[in-house]
Amino acid sequence: MTDEVSSEHTNGPGRPLAGVGRGPLAAGDRVTLHDPKGRRHSVLLEAGRSFHTAKGAIAHDDLIGGPEGVLVTSTGGVQYLALRPLLAEFTVTMKRGAAVVYPKDAAQILMAADIFPGARVVEAGVGSGALSMSLLRAIGPTGTLYSYERRGDFAEIAERNVTNFFGVRPDNWQVRLGDLATDLGPEPVDRAILDMLAPWDCVPAVADALEPGGVFCAYVATTTQLGRIVETLRAHTGFTEPEATESSLRPWHAEGLAIRPGHAATGHTGFLVTARRLAPGVTAPPRKRRPAPGAYGPDYTGPRPPGVGG
């Protein structure tokens, strides 16, 4: 499916998208127009304005006051389906600075890290704000999200995207410019989500901030990163045995007797590594299964768990 996003997508905030499906469409709502070819256009409704397509214009007033899930016809005679965008749809079509965490991985992160209402969560880096939106929804108004980002331009894009989605900038969201490894604040946290190039550099700082039983979750793209963060967590000894997973998403085509996998499967996007923080002074219990012979060969230069010789 091809996504075409209107320039109106970057307009100022309207009514919050977080409450999709509530009442008729109104000025300030953002809607997605789906054309017959599956292309999507994001539009911020404003009385008296029109959205122009290659197939003619669509008056915003034809949508304002009516329900979502309706068909609206352009002046060129083409019908478009109008729906408020879902979070998953918004995150893959919004303006980006850095690459976004895709919905399938955001869903895995929320479950693997056990994000709950009222949780105190730290994330790094904030990127374009896609994961921040999912985390803010999950922690609710009683939770707190501390988002660290090294690049100011990325932080600005993320703040704009999050504000556009919720309609206002969440009061329980703090965006901090800096390096998590050296600039992590003094606040204790329940969960730590790291989406960055070298999450192993942040393990000592995160370990100091995480409450006992808290969850460490790293999202990495390559097997090299996967191995490095797993071994660093083991060598620290203050975490449970890390778990590494990968998820893929495969759509299916169903029409009559033609039931088959879709052609556009979403394969590898990243790995998740999770571990639980142990209480102060407690070290990880010894592993029952020893590393395979040669697992730490002469060319291995990374950290080694206790008891594994060089």
Q: Where are the alpha helices (DSSP H) in the chain?
A: 87-93, 103-112, 130-139, 152-166, 180-183, 203-209, 223-236
129 is in an annotated binding site: yes
Helix, strand, coil proportions of the chain in percent (round to 5)? 25, 25, 45
Q: What torsion, rounded to 10 degrees, do the Cα atoms 92, 95, 101, 104 define?
A: -10
244, β-bridge pairs: 273
Ramachandran bin of 129, using left for φ above 0, alpha for ψ from -120 to 50, beta for the remaining angles: left
156 is in an annotated binding site: no
Please report, as a single letter, which amino acid is at residue 112.
A
Strand partners of residue 66: none
Angle, vertex CA 178, rays to CA 172 and CA 179, nearest 5: 115
Cβ-contact 235, 305 below 8 angstroms: yes
**Cβ atoms < 10 Å from Cβ of 255:** 7
131 annotated as belonging to a binding site for a ligand: yes
Residue 114 marked in a binding site: no
Pairing outcome for strands 210-220 and 258-261: unpaired
Question: Is 128 flagged in the annotation as binding?
Answer: yes
Annotated binding-site members: 128-131, 149, 179, 195
Annotated binding-site members for S-adenosyl-L-methionine: 128-131, 149, 179, 195
